[in-house]
Every structure is written in structure tokens, then in C-alpha cells.
Structure 1
Amino acid sequence: MTTTEIKQTPAAPTRLNFTKAAPKAFRAVIGLDAAAREGLDPTLVELVQIRASHVNHCAYCLHMHTSDARKAGESEERMHMVAVWREARHFFTEKEQAALALTDAVTLIAGAGLPDDVYARASAHFDDRELAQLLALIFTINTWNRIALATGKTAGEDERVS
């Protein structure tokens, strides 16, 4: 198989349509998502969502948020570097790096909690309101990742409200 050939395998069926099975819970997550984004740079929002989706291995959300970032004008180069942002820091501003470090720590919070140095770095770049919004965004994308993974959502299929 050459690098340009992609072997397609049939997607596993979605296990559960969360939107229809729990509409109030779905609307609550939609509301949190909308509220979390308020006042944050749209590019930063997508970088955070891409990073959390990498960490959580959520192909569905990764596909959606790279598509959204592309539409918002984000470069392919930076989107590729999000997965290895620590090794490719020069692609990201100090503020973006602080947000990505916070995303990693909060997404993997069970391992080491939220280290003081990561929190301090983020609070140096974001005021209290922005930091709270950023945390809410990270909480939200982690929730979406878990919904997509638990219900068997397939990347590239039905990526808008179902």
C-alpha cells in the first residue's frame, strides 16, 4: 500500500444516540460549551479542543475540531504540531503554550492533579475570568470526548448535533 492509499474499513455502528436518549443532558453540555467559549480567542479554543482530543484518543472530536480550526483560518502546520507542542513550542505563543499545558494537566488530572507550576503559568497569561473560561472549555471538551468515545461516534460521520 502506498502512502496515498488508505484502506477503508467499515465504521462500527454508533452504540447510542446520546442526543435523543438524554436530550436534557445533551442540551446542558451544549450550554456549557457555549458559555465556556465566551471571551476566548476562537483559535485558542480550537487548539485546546484539538489537544484534549489527542490526549483522549478521540478521533471523532479531533476530526471535528481540526475541520473547525481549518475553517477559522488555522494553519495545517500548527494543527499538526499540537500533538507535539512541547517539542514544537516555537509554533505557539507563550499564552497558547500555557493553555496547552493546562489542557494536558486537567485532561490527565487523575495522574498528578494540577501541578502548581502549570496553574501559575496559566494564571500569568489569563486573568481570573479568562482562566475560569479556559478551565470550563477544558472540562467541556473532555466531556464531549467521553460522550463520543462511550457512544461509539465515528470520525467524519454525523459531526454536528445529531
Structure 2
Amino acid sequence: MTTTHAHHPAPAGLAPEEPQRISVSQLLPDVYKAMIRLDIAARQGLDPVLVELVKIRASQLNQCAFCLDMHSKDALAAGESAERIVQLSAWRESRHFYTEKELAALALTEAVTVLTDGFVPDEVYAEASRHFEETELAQLIAAITVINAWNRFGVTGRLAPGHYTPGDFKS
């Protein structure tokens, strides 16, 4: 993810694009580079498609349009189906589109992202533990944590969706 986007005029009939508020990558390049390194380290050893599903779901919950755009495009480029991406917002009602492991990852993503009760429920953690070995589970928790941080940069900085092309920010 980057925080440097030009303001693009809206096509006829569409609402204008909101201007970006702040560029973390320009103002705090060391923080931005550290986030990139953290992102790479967090997803090591995890299935890339699973990581994209997790990033999309967290971005839906956090209403980060830039990250939704980026990770939906990355998931499609990695071979994920549009149908599974579209169904993520209603994954509980669309369980038959996902594996048990993916369902456990999505439940954990929601629990870590929303923290409704101020903690991750034991049953959600236990279900994730059934499907992920300990190191893989730690990687998943790290990946969920990192996308939540990216989402907060994106939403606060008002990064505009629609300009990302898969591979733009490959490290």
C-alpha cells in the first residue's frame, strides 16, 4: 500500500473523488518502509489467496475503500473467483463457498478486527487453532493485525480507490 495518489477528476455524472488528506509514505518514509517489512514478514508461510481473503474482509469491516480495491484486485490476479470475493461480506450465509480453514480465518479476522467484547472469544480462537498449526496461527494473527493498521492509514488519510493495478507495490 502506498499513500501517494494524485487527485483524479471524476468522470461525467460521478461524484468527485475526495482529496487525500496526508501521505504517510512521504512524511514518514521509515514508518512506511517498516510497515512494508512487517506486512511481508506477517504473511510468510500463509496461502496467498487466504491472506487476500483476510485482507478483504478486514477492509470491509473497517470500510477502507482503497484496501478493498487493492486486495480484491490482488485476489483476482492470484486466481480467486469474483464470486467468492463478492460473498465475503456475507460469508456466514455463504459458507459453502469456503473451506473450513478459510471460515476459521474469517471468523478470527472479524474477532480481531472488531473486538466487540474487548477480546477474541475463546471459541473463535479454538476453532482457528484446530485449522492452523501454532506458527501458522501466529502468522495469521500478525497478518490480520497488519491489515488493520494499513486500513487505519487508508481511512484516516482518505486514500482513493480505483487507481491500483496488481503488482504496483510488489516488494
Residue 95 of structure 1: aligned partner: 101
1:31 to 30, 37, 45: 37
Tell me how far apart the structure 2 counterparts of residues 118 and 130 of structure 1 sit (CA, whole Å). Answer: 16
Unpaired segments ≥5 residues, structure 2: 1-11
In structure 2, do the counterparts of structure 1 residues 116 and 27 end up closer, same or farther at CA, with 3 Å as the change threshold? same
Would you tell me which structure has more helix in proportion to its own residues?
A: 1
Equivalent pairs, count: 156
Shift, 1:8, TM fit: 1.5
Residue 3 of structure 1: aligned partner: none
Structure 1 residue identity aligned to 2:40? A
CA contact (8 A) 2:50 2:102 kept: yes
Tell me how far apart the structure 1 counterparts of residues 89 and 97 of structure 2 sit (CA, whole Å). Answer: 12
- Deviation per residue, 1:101-155 (Å, 9 max, x gap): 0000000125441000000000000011000000000001000100000111001
1:138 aligns with 2:152: no
1:51 to 57, 64, 72: 57
Residue 117 of structure 1: aligned partner: 123
Shift, 1:10, TM fit: 1.2
Query: TM-score scaled to structure 2, two decimals?
Result: 0.87
1:76 to 69, 82, 85: 82
Structure 2 residue identity aligned to 1:12? E
Shift, 1:36, TM fit: 0.8
Structure 1 residue identity aligned to 2:79? G
Tell me how far apart the structure 2 counterparts of residues 7 and 111 of structure 1 sit (CA, whole Å). Answer: 43
Unpaired segments ≥5 residues, structure 1: 1-5
1:9 to 1, 7, 15: 15
Q: Which moved more, 1:136-145 or 1:150-159?
A: 150-159
Tell me how far apart the structure 1 counterparts of residues 153 and 102 of structure 2 sit (CA, whole Å). Answer: 26
Shift, 1:158, TM fit: 5.5
Tell me how far apart the structure 2 counterparts of residues 78 and 54 of structure 1 sit (CA, whole Å). Answer: 14
Residue 135 of structure 2: aligned partner: 129
Give the root-mean-square deviation of aligned CA atoms.
1.4
Q: Which moved more, 1:8-17 or 1:43-52?
A: 8-17
Q: Which runs of 4+ in 1 moved over 3 A?
A: 158-161
Tell me how far apart the structure 1 counterparts of residues 109 and 125 of structure 2 sit (CA, whole Å). Answer: 10
Query: TM-score scaled to structure 1, two decimals?
Result: 0.92
